[in-house]
Structures are given as structure tokens and as C-alpha cells.
Chain A
Amino acid sequence: MLIINNLKASIDGKSILKGISLEVKPGEIHAIMGPNGSGKSTLAAVLAGRELVEVTEGTVTYLGKNLLEMTPEDRAKEGIFLGFQYPIEIPGVSMVNFMKTAVNEHRKHKGLDPLSASDFLKMMRDKKELVEIDSKLANRSVNEGFSGGEKKKNEIFQMAMLEPRLAILDETDSGLDIDALRIVANGVNKLKRPDNSFIVITHYQRLLDYIVPDVVHVLYDGRIVKTAGKELALELEEKGYDWIKKEIENNVTA
């Protein structure tokens, strides 16, 4: 579904991604872990189409298309969803209005008619239940006055509404207590299908107890330095990122 080849990217001239290659197949969950500053969020931003990040080299192919040539809206309509690390507030715009616009844009792209108001509200109700989100959240302005945890749950709710093919969750677990974590993970697990994929970006192994990855990558200093199965996450948890740094240093000197 997604093929990243030798991706290099910078922000304000500073090189952040230094040659990432990665392939995600349908039905897979990939975890990307790494210390602060390794480039995890930058990778998410490049995939979503954030203009702040300049791609200097490499290719990204999504469903056979050149992703880097698509606008952020088109990428979204083609099924890419980014669960933001810091979801922004949009005062004055109700969640209902926001989601209705988004859902209908996706439908238009697929050649479907927009949902009627009642069908849309029904859809919202169903999805709210699916991801155990409080009814009140949906009646407020987008993320306005939401706590950190509520914002993250709201990201999962939006994901449920938009049914993406490729969901990239950028540190969705940061700032969540155990219960919220469980709810978020549940939501993701309920949405998992053989034809969609997830890239879960996280610092901690904890989330991966609930969302079990097929592949774990470790990102360090803009490069993927290790790729393995889910046991890698447990090893990291035990040994810390210093272990990875030492391994890299050893490989360089060896």
C-alpha cells in the first residue's frame, strides 16, 4: 500500500529525515519508535503533506500513485488519515459541521452523494459508540476546551468517521491515562481490517501492548536503524534507546 524509498526531508534547511525506506502492506500495523528528535513526527508530516517540510530526495508511492505530488486534501480523500500529536483547536466551528463537511468531501471524491442530515447524525451516533466517545464532545467546537486525552480520543473518533485506508497515528498515546489508552487502542483495533493499515508512532511500548504491531521500526537521527517484529518493542522498553545508540556506534567502528 505504501512504499517509501530513500526519503530525505528537511525543515528550514536542516536535514531531519536522512534516507528512510519502508513498505507497509494492507492489513499491517507498523510501529515506529525512537527517541525525541529522531524525525518521527516529521515523517508523519511528510506523509500528510505538510508544506513546512521540504522533501529533498526519495519517493513515496501510495496505492501505486506518487504521493508527494498530491495536495493534503487529496491525500486525505484517497484514504490517508493523520492522528495529530497536538490536535489544534478551531473555535466557532462545531464538530458536527466540521465532520459533515469532511465526510461529504470524501464521499464526493468517491462519486457518492452527500449524506443527508439524519443519515449523518446516525453515522455519528454509531461511531461515537464504537470508540466510546462522550456525546458532549461532538456538540462542541473542534477541540475547543478539550483536555489532552479528549483531543486524542477525538482524533480516533474522526478516524472512525472517515474510515481511512492508511492511518498514521502520531504519538496518540502521549498524555493519556490507562483508561483513555485502552479506549483509544480499542477504537483502533475495532477499525482494523484486512484492507487498511496503520502506522503507529510512539515513544513507549505501553500502547503496543494494546495495539499489537506486525512490524516495529526504530527511528534514530533520521534513519531507520532497526526493523523487527513486536519483540523489538519489548527489548527497547527493557534496554532503553541508549542500547540502540551503542549498537549503531559499534557498527560504525566495527
Chain B
Amino acid sequence: MEKDQDKIISDVTTGEYKYGFYSDIEMDRIPKGLSEEVVRLISSKKNEPDWLLEFRLKSYRHWLTMKMPTWPNLKIAPINYQDIIFYAAPKERKNLTSIDDIDPELKKTFDKLGIPLEEQKHLSGVAVDAVIDSVSVKTTFKETLAEMGIIFCSFSDAVREYPDLVKRYMGSVVPYTDNFFATLNSAVFSDGSFCYIPKGVRCPMELSTYFRINSANTGQFERTLLIADEESYVSYLEGCTAPSRDENQLHAAIVEIVAEKNAEVKYSTVQNWYPGDKEGKGGVYNFVTKRGMCKGENSKISWTQIETGSAITWKYPSCILRGDNSTGEFYSVAVTNNYQQADTGTKMTHIGKNTKSTIVSKGISAGHGQNSYRGLVKVLKNASNARNYSQCDSLLLGDKCGAHTFPYLEVDNSTSIVEHEATTSKIGEDQIFYCNQRGISTEDAIGLIVNGYAREVINKLPMEFAVEAQKLLQISLEGSVG
């Protein structure tokens, strides 16, 4: 009987990362390495205006003065920046007016990933911006959205068509000097999504960007800028996958969100970058800077993330609560299995009056995974009546994994109320057996238990993605209790 159990486990763990395939598409790649010439080359390939080139050069020069931070609870092999290709784009990217203009290989890729590029056949009404290897390939529903004044396009297109908007907001939430990887991104970013919701408009559909790293040895440096003008609302979803490779791939992206008065932005991420194989070889390095500025009064920004992939996840989606009565939320489920590592959390900075923040972080560690929550709740001197609730839970599967918590509370205003709760639990063999005895297989039992644990966070996702997230959670933990 034991032999059967082992067979089930090994069958299931040898085939799971189903996005590990590679697409053979003609790519335009620049030579490896990083230098001022490379930065200029990237800018010229994209036909960028001078002001943007200047921004890049400024960032690159600043980057040269910086050192990679060593404070996270992560073991990162040294990164050789001269061994990375900083720009790769599908060749011959014409101005795509119809779905038929897309390289058929590319189309096949997205079909395999289940990403809908065909608007006509698309039932759930999600507008998709498909970004492959840092280049936005297709954005659906552009016209429909344009009728409402909503701009949803690639970052590169936005630079060309809406330079004033981009100039006004880019770098206002994550300045080019912010941190080592943000500065690197500011120098070499290639593309990403741009979104602008005009005053008073409630975006009628989910907006979604789907990122896929395809080429070998390339870094992916996207830049997303999302602006919700006064009284507007948008729900945005970001999905990510990458092929299985032996080498590590660097993903250093920036997401900036600005919410003006009475505006609300929901930003959800389902991240499933290749996590490395069972021995910990390969996998994506996911070093991302995501920050939202609740600029106006009563504005609200919610981050929801399901992180199941990447060899190393290092990110702190944060909110700056500048506007009075503004609200910031962070809901996260981060999984580390096999040899994955995560040092993730959030920063909530309370600046205005009567601001509120909620943090719910659920870590799941399995295999030899190391999962760290790092959160900062900072209440500035004049931030009267600030409220924060933080809950950070860890679930351990097996006895070789780790869960760590580094909560920081810096409170400089005595009228604030800050609450912090933490729990640690494990899925016991007893619980699995109880399910087995009721006819439920071990895999399904883990799925039930993990989804019950993560339910509070999954409920924050748009419905269609909630279902995918549940399946993803179950798959990412297959073979972890044995």
C-alpha cells in the first residue's frame, strides 16, 4: 500500500508546472550585458522621446552607485548583470489592428495558457493586455474602453499617445532612486501596461495584463502605471507564467498606482512564475516594487496577491495613505514549496487623517520552502486617528520548511489604533487521515484544507480568477504531505 502512495505522489509531482513549455518565436534580441549603450539601444529600438531616454540614463547612472540590498531573509546567488539580455521582443511587431496580425506561434502560446486574445469568442468580458518577454503583444477591448474615455494600452503606446499623462505620473509613486531593482527597472524597462480611468468612470470590465517570460537569459522589466482619476473605479488583474529553465531568470518590475479623490483601485495578482525544479534549480527571481498612492481624500487601493511561483519572491505591495480618510488593503497568500523562498509583505504608511489599513497575510510553507512575512505599519506624527489591523498566519506542511515573521510597527501618533495578530499552524497527518477515512484522497484533502485556510484572501479576487487560484494552490502543493 505504501508503494502505491509513493507512486501517486511521484506521478503528480513530476508533471505539474504545465506552463513550462517554450514557444519558438522569432525574437529580436540585443547582446548580453548592461551599459549606457545598451540603455540607449533599448530606448532607440522603442523610438522613445528624449525625455524618456534622459529618465533612463539618469536611472542607470544612479544604479551604478548602488549595491544590492542584503537585509532580506533570502539566499540569492550573485546575479551577473553582464550575463543577462536586457531586451527581447517578438520580431516585426507591426501595428496590430487585427488578431490575425499576430504571429501564429504567439497565438498558440496564449491559447495554451488559456489567455483569451479573441475578443469575439470571449465570454467573460475581460480586457487583456498580453505581454510576452517584456513587449505588449495585444490589448483587447481597446475600442470599447476608449468609448468611455478609458485608456488601456501598452506602456510604450502610452508614451507615444499620451506623453503628458505618463510624464505627470511616472515615477511619482516609485521614484527612480527608490531601491536597487526599481532603479534598474527605471533604466531598462521595456514595456508593461498603462491604464487611465477618467473622472467619474466606473470601468465596466476587469482589466488584465498577462505576463509571460519566454526567451532564455532575458530579464523581464515591466513597468505598469495605473491612474484612477477622481470618483473612478477599476479592478485590475495581473497573471504571470514562465517556461521551465535551468538558469534563473530575473523579473524586476515596477507597478505604480495613483488613486485620486474618491477613487478605488483593486489590483489582483496571480503569480505562477516557474518556481524551479524539485531540487531548487532554476526558477524566476521575482523582485518587484509595487506601490499605490492614495492621493485624494477617501481614495482606496487594495492589493490582492496569490504567489505560488518563482524561485525567490521579494516584493512588498504597499500603500501610501496620503489623502484623508483613505484606505489601503493587502491580502496575500504566498506559497513556498520545494526550495522556493519568499520575503514578502507590505508597507502601509499613514500620512493623512482618519486613514485605515488592513493586512491579511497567509503564508504556506511546504517542502524545504522558506517563507517570510515582512510588514511595516508606519503612522506619521500628524496622521491622527489612524487604524490598522494586521493578521499574519503561517501554515506549515511537513517539518523541513520554515515560516518567519518580521512585523514592524512605527507609530508616532497617539490617537492611532494598531492591531496585530499572528498564528502558526500545520496540516497534520491526522487531518489528512480523517479526510482519507471519509473517502477523500490526500491531494483533495490538502486542497480542501489549504483553500479553507486561504479562503479569506481568495474571496477578494474577481470570481473567475478565484476558481483558477484555488486550483493553482492545490497544484502548487501536490506531493507536499507524505
Contact = CB atoms under 8 A, between A and B. Distances in A.
A68 B1 contact: yes
Given A51-B2, A71-B1, A101-B444, A92 B449 contact: yes
Contact of B431 (A69, A81, A82, A90): A90
Nearest to B447: A101
B452 A141 contact: yes
A138 to B, nearest CB: 15
A98 interface: yes
Contacts, number: 83
B421 interface: no
B481 interface: no
A70 interface: yes
B436 A97 contact: no
B437 A72 contact: yes
A105 interface: yes
Interface of B: 1-2, 4-5, 425, 428, 430-431, 433-442, 444, 448-449, 451-453, 455
Interface in A25-81: 48-51, 68-73, 75-77, 81
Contacts of A68: 1
Contacts of A109: 439
A101 B437 contact: no
B438 A76 contact: yes
Interface of B is mostly: helix
Given A49-B1, A93-B449, A88 B428 contact: yes
A81 B434 CA distance: 11
Nearest to A70: B1
Contacts of B437: 48-49, 72-73, 75-76, 81-82, 84
Given A88-B430, A90-B431, A92-B449, A71 B455 contact: no
Given A70-B1, A71-B5, A73-B440, A97 B431 contact: no
A149 interface: no
Contacts of A94: 452
B99 to A, nearest CB: 38
Nearest to A55: B1
Nearest to A81: B437
A174 to B, nearest CB: 18
Contacts of B425: 91
Q: Which 6 pairs of residues, A with B, have the shortest CB-CB distance?
A: A92-B452, A72-B436, A93-B452, A76-B439, A102-B438, A105-B439
A83 to B, nearest CB: 10
Nearest to B455: A92
19 contacts: A51-B1, A68-B1, A70-B1, A71-B5, A71-B436, A73-B436, A76-B438, A82-B437, A84-B434, A88-B434, A90-B435, A90-B449, A92-B449, A93-B448, A93-B452, A98-B438, A98-B440, A105-B439, A142-B434
